[in-house]
């Protein structure tokens, strides 16, 4: 028995050992199999979607991977966020850029890849000793760290999981603060947000997402924060957003330093060098890299036109209606004349997008595109994406909204209708509309080339030349298409001026600006380049002052206004009003269409009123204007000067005659009785009050007061003189005793109220601002006339006016006028007593 048991035990042990050994061998074999399995195959399967480009993108299931070549580690990339689609009524538009960051991927510790945000605030040449100090003292932010899931094929790349980076709102993809504020957005609704597409191209990656945010309706909607319908209905707003990653040049372009005397967009940084004592911010202009071919360099230096190494090509979106494509292309090609001034021929060209060509994509950053949006928005714009290190434009495009045609139609009928018979209908011919599209196209292309608005350009043309057929058709009505000098509204029907004397064109300033910005110098540094090009400006302005850049029209210089023409606003506006009277007389005929129900007439009457308001605003800006002419120390003359006294007096006389005297020609009952209910506020009344407020504004009073202190009474238009001239016009009935209609009486009320408002601001400062506006607006306002003598001067003027009114009451025979004057005298007295305890 023992022997049998021992034998069984031995056999059992052997069996168990054999089984254990077999199991161990299987486990080991399985482990070896896992070790030998290619990790790449767990990421790239037969169901993986693959897109090759700057980075290869893999999508396996719901996971996204970037395959980043080692050659692109430490290469700087430009990340840009755009709005693609927005809800109806949004103050922001599809195509608008939100923000930019320079990023790069580099190797981290272990099997990690860092995503860094690169700072561009400072720059130092590597030849400087302090370059080492800058390198030692600065480090770029690590924003995200990715695990390397595996190495790519041939062990030349790293594959990282970017699912969260693409699908979740984060530091890189979040909306800009301006968009969030203007649309009243709150938290993102993850259940109604998703990644729409990811695409890869040779130099860029494009990621589109649809995002829904909680949204509130503005308590007090404004044009800047309107009540968007989507927010009202569902307390939410859905947007389509694009995030683009673009490869930046390995060898940066030599920048051209920004100069205030030429109108370019600019970017900048703070350069550091060994020889500095006071480091300062350096701005560089935004432009394309345009260089001669190596084999043409000698020809170029001799002044022979050559083709650039790389032509600027704009494609027309295939969604664009075919009848407008030739005109959009002409607007692009028109810039070749300007580039010839810089020494290049065939530098820029517009082309139709090749239909059916599957090798091209509108999202590919190598192609510059005019995008056509089927939108009711009446707008067009020309942005660009540029290298913040040098200003080099890397990607250019133009946004074109379908309804821009309604904008140019209304402008052209109102401004050019008296001179051009083709403008006297609600639907223009394709030829006329095409020419209008062409000029807008040229303007927007100018922006994509780096040019800013030059609102001072049109002031370089004498008003009398705008009626000289031969001169204006030859030279144009403005020296720049980058001005908002829409059309030559000074030209009268009897002048018989043709299209070339009415429409804008690329002109002398534009050619000069392109020459200055794009002429190749061959300089190896920004400093060497600046020494060459700065002198060009000084010499050119001395030879031709019309090349002056007047800025964006945001200063207090009446020469730099939007929508104006000519060197004298009063003369130009007088001719403009004469043309408006012609338009008004023909409005029923020009707007007549079958079954219209006076919608056309209403639309064009509003446009006419708006145009009249523009003319009067142009004039008002002359009062208290300061001429600002940017100069360098080697140029003669002052930078700041008071506008001529005679022009300011002329402006007041114009307003008294054309605005504050009732403009009865606008009150045409044959039109008003068909388009407007009489119980609503009159647009004429609103316009008069608006101009009165503008004349008696803190801006005007403060400027006159300060300019008098600087230059003396004999060289400036004093505040006392302004009040006297305004009183002589607005209150002329105090001497003539003529009856005053309802509009005239309202003007006089506006006069007193505008002065009382200015006086309260001058005396109470922030408290007055708070009383007038309240809330956050009060904190943002600046009471610039507080602490001056302005309040006292106004009070004295009103006190004298009150006495003059009382003296005139007894001689005024019209009952309504007499009652009005008595009321105004009492009103002024009560207001002054409340403020100053006047007796």
Question: Domain check: are 17 and 95 in the same one?
Answer: no
Domain boundary among 191, 214, 247: 247
Using left for φ > 0, alpha for ψ between -120 and 50, and beta otherwise, residue 305 falls in beta
- Quick check: is 22 in a domain? yes
What pLDDT does 463 receive?
A: 98
- Quick check: is 323 in a domain? no
Q: How confident is the model at residue 231 (pLDDT cuts 50, 70, 90)?
A: low
Q: How confident is the model at residue 281 (pLDDT cuts 50, 70, 90)?
A: low
| Beta carbons within 8 Å of 568's beta carbon, 6+ residues apart | 463, 647
What pLDDT does 784 receive?
A: 63
Domain boundary among 247, 263, 287: 247
In this model, does residue 41 exceed pLDDT 70? yes
What pLDDT does 27 receive?
A: 45
- Enumerate the β-bridge partners of residue 145: 114
> Average pLDDT, whole number, for the chain?
87
Q: What is the pLDDT of residues 68-79, one digit of tens each?
A: 999 999 999 999
Using left for φ > 0, alpha for ψ between -120 and 50, and beta otherwise, residue 212 falls in beta
Q: What is the pLDDT of residues 570-594, one digit of tens each?
A: 999 999 999 999 999 999 999 999 9
In this model, does residue 669 exceed pLDDT 60? yes
In this model, does residue 334 exceed pLDDT 50? yes
- Rounded average pLDDT over 244-258: 95
User: How far is residue 565's CA from residue 461's CA, in Å, rounded to a whole number?
Assistant: 8
- Rounded average pLDDT over 718-739: 97
- Quick check: is 604 in a domain? no
- Rounded average pLDDT over 679-686: 84
Question: Domain check: are 28 and 129 in the same one?
Answer: no
What pLDDT does 29 receive?
A: 45
What pLDDT does 135 receive?
A: 52
Question: Domain check: are 114 and 13 in the same one?
Answer: no
In this model, does residue 650 exceed pLDDT 50? yes
What pLDDT does 184 receive?
A: 85
Tokens at residue 822, please? 């008595």
What proportion of the chain, given as a percentage, has pLDDT over 90?
Answer: 69
48 or 93, higher pLDDT: 48
168 or 557, higher pLDDT: 557
Nearest to 146 by CA among 128, 164, 132, 133: 164
The three-class DSSP label of residue 481 is: coil
Query: What H or E segment, with its residue span, contains residue 59?
Result: strand 56-60
Q: What is the pLDDT of residues 127-151, one digit of tens each?
A: 555 455 545 555 788 989 999 999 9
What pLDDT does 7 receive?
A: 36
Nearest to 448 by CA among 312, 299, 325, 311: 312
Q: What is the pLDDT of residues 118-130, one digit of tens each?
A: 876 545 455 555 4
The neighbour count for residue 794, using CB atoms within 10 Å, is: 25
* Boundaries of domain holding 30: 2-37
Domain boundary among 202, 217, 247: 247
What pLDDT does 427 receive?
A: 97
- Rounded average pLDDT over 561-567: 97
Question: Domain check: are 235 and 99 in the same one?
Answer: yes
What pLDDT does 222 receive?
A: 55
User: How far is residue 57's CA from residue 163's CA, in Å, rounded to a whole number?
Assistant: 11
- Quick check: is 78 in a domain? yes
- Quick check: is 385 in a domain? no
What pLDDT does 232 receive?
A: 52
Question: Domain check: are 243 and 113 in the same one?
Answer: yes
Question: Domain check: are 87 and 157 in the same one?
Answer: yes
Number of domains in the chain: 2
In this model, does residue 300 exceed pLDDT 90? yes
What pLDDT does 162 receive?
A: 94
Contact 500, 511 (CB under 8 A): no
What pLDDT does 776 receive?
A: 42
What pLDDT does 686 receive?
A: 94
Average the pLDDT over each of 237-251, 312-326, 675-689 and give the range with the smallest value: 675-689
Q: How confident is the model at residue 492 (pLDDT cuts 50, 70, 90)?
A: very high
In this model, does residue 766 exceed pLDDT 80? no
What pLDDT does 18 receive?
A: 42
- Quick check: is 59 in a domain? yes
- Rounded average pLDDT over 252-280: 76
Q: How confident is the model at residue 640 (pLDDT cuts 50, 70, 90)?
A: very high
Q: How confident is the model at residue 495 (pLDDT cuts 50, 70, 90)?
A: very high
What pLDDT does 487 receive?
A: 97
What pLDDT does 358 receive?
A: 87
Nearest to 158 by CA among 103, 106, 102, 104: 106
User: How far is residue 260's CA from residue 631's CA, in Å, rounded to a whole number?
Assistant: 9
Torsion of CA 791, 795, 798, 803, to 10 degrees: -170
- Quick check: is 97 in a domain? yes
Tokens at residue 832, please? 């002054």
Question: Domain check: are 126 and 7 in the same one?
Answer: no
Question: Domain check: are 149 and 180 in the same one?
Answer: yes
Rg from Cα positions in the chain: 35
What pLDDT does 123 receive?
A: 52
Question: Domain check: are 22 and 146 in the same one?
Answer: no
Distances from the Cα of 164 to the Cα of 98, 160, 195, 207, 409, angstroms: 21, 11, 11, 13, 48
In this model, does residue 815 exceed pLDDT 80? yes
Contact 286, 448 (CB under 8 A): no
268 or 587, higher pLDDT: 587
- Quick check: is 603 in a domain? no
Nearest to 814 by CA among 740, 745, 735, 748: 740
- Rounded average pLDDT over 697-720: 89
Q: DSSP assignment of 386-441, as one string?
A: E-TTT-BEEEEEEEEETTHHHHHHHHHHHHHTTT-GGGSSSS--HHHHHHHHHHHH
Question: Domain check: are 32 and 67 in the same one?
Answer: no
Q: How far is CA 193 from the centre of its chain?
A: 29
In this model, does residue 516 exceed pLDDT 50? yes
40 or 65, higher pLDDT: 65
Question: Domain check: are 21 and 91 in the same one?
Answer: no
Question: Domain check: are 30 and 55 in the same one?
Answer: no
């Amino acid at each position: 028995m023992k022997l049998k048991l021992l034998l069984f035990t031995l056999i059992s042990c052997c069996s168990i050992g054999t089984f254990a050994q077999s199991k161990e061998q299987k486990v080991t074999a399985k482990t070896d199999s896992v070790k030998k399995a290619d990790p790449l195959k767990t990421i790239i399967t037969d169901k993986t979607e693959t897109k090759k480009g700057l980075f290869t993108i893999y999508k396996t299931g719901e996971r996204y991977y970037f395959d980043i070549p080692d050659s692109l580690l430490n290469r700087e990339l430009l990340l840009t966020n755009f709005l693609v689609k927005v809800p109806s009524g949004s103050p922001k538009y599809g195509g608008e850029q939100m923000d930019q960051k320079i990023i790069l991927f580099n190797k981290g510790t272990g099997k990690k890849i860092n995503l860094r945000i690169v700072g561009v605030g400072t720059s130092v040449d590597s030849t400087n000793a302090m370059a080492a100090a800058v390198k030692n003292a600065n480090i770029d932010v690590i924003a995200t760290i990715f695990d390397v899931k595996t190495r790519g094929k041939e062990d030349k790349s790293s594959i990282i999981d970017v699912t969260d980076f693409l699908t979740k709102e984060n530091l890189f993809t979040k909306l800009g603060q301006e968009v969030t504020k203007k649309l009243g957005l709150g938290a993102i609704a993850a259940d109604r947000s998703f990644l729409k597409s990811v695409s890869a191209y040779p130099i860029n990656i494009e990621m589109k997402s649809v995002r829904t945010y909680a949204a509130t309706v503005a308590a007090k909607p404004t044009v800047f924060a309107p009540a968007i319908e989507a927010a009202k209905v569902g307390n939410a707003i859905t947007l389509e957003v694009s995030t683009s990653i673009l490869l930046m040049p390995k060898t940066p372009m030599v920048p051209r330093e920004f100069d205030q005397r030429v109108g370019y967009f600019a970017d900048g940084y703070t350069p550091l060098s060994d020889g500095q004592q006071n480091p300062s911010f350096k701005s560089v202009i935004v432009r394309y890299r345009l260089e001669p071919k190596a084999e043409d360099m000698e020809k170029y230096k001799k002044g022979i036109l050559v083709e650039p190494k790389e032509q600027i090509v704009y494609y027309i979106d295939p969604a664009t209606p075919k009848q407008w494509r030739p005109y959009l292309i002409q607007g692009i090609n028109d810039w070749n004349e300007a580039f010839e001034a810089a020494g290049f021929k065939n530098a820029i060209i517009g082309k139709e997008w090749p239909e059916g060509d599957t090798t091209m994509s509108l999202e590919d950053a190598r192609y510059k595109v005019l995008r056509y949006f089927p939108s009711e928005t009446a707008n067009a714009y020309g942005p660009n994406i540029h290298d913040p290190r040098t200003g080099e434009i890397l990607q250019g495009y133009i946004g074109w909204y379908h309804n821009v045609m309604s904008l140019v139609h209304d402008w052209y009928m109102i401004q050019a209708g008296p001179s051009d018979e083709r403008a006297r209908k609600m639907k223009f011919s394709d030829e006329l509309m095409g020419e209008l599209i062409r000029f807008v196209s040229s303007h927007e292309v100018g922006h994509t080339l780096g040019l800013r608005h030059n609102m001072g350009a049109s002031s370089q043309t004498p008003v009398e030349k705008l009626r000289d057929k031969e001169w204006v058709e030859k030279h144009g009505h403005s020296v720049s298409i980058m001005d908002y000098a829409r059309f030559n509204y000074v030209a009268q029907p009897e002048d018989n001026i043709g299209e070339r004397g009415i429409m804008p064109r690329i002109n002398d300033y534009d050619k000069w600006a392109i020459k200055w910005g794009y002429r190749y110098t061959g300089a190896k540094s920004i400093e060497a380049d600046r020494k060459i090009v700065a002198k060009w400006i000084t010499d050119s302005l001395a030879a031709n002052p019309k090349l002056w850049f007047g800025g964006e029209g945001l200063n207090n210089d009446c020469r730099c206004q939007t929508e104006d023409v000519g060197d004298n606003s009063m003369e130009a506006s007088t001719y403009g009003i004469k043309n408006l009277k012609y338009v008004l007389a023909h409005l029923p005929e020009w707007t007549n269409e079958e079954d219209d129900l006076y919608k056309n007439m209403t639309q064009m009457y509003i446009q006419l009123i708006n145009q009249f308001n523009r003319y009067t605003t142009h004039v008002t800006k002359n009062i208290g204007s300061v001429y600002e002419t940017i100069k360098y120390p080697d140029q003669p003359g002052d930078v700041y000067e008071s506008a001529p006294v005679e022009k300011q007096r002329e402006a007041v006389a114009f307003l008294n005659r054309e605005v504050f005297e009732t403009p009865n020609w606008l009150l045409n009952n044959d039109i008003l009785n068909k388009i407007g209910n009489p119980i609503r506020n009159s647009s004429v009344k609103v316009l008069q009050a608006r101009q009165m407020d503008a004349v008696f504004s803190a801006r005007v009073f403060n400027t006159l007061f300060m300019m008098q202190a600087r230059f003396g009474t004999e060289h400036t238009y004093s505040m006392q003189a302004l009040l006297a001239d305004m009183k002589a016009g607005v209150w002329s009935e105090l001497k003539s005793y003529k009856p005053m209609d309802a509009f005239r009486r309202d003007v006089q009320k506006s006069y007193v109220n505008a002065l009382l408002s200015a006086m309260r601001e001058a005396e109470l400062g922030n408290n007055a601002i708070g009383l007038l506006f309240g809330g956050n607006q009060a904190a943002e306002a600046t009471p610039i006339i507080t602490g001056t003598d302005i309040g006292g001067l106004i009070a004295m003027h009103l006190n004298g006016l009150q006495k003059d009114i009382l003296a005139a009451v007894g001689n005024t025979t019209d009952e309504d006028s007499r009652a009005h004057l008595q009321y105004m005298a009492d009103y002024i007295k009560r207001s002054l007593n409340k403020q100053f305890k006047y007796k």
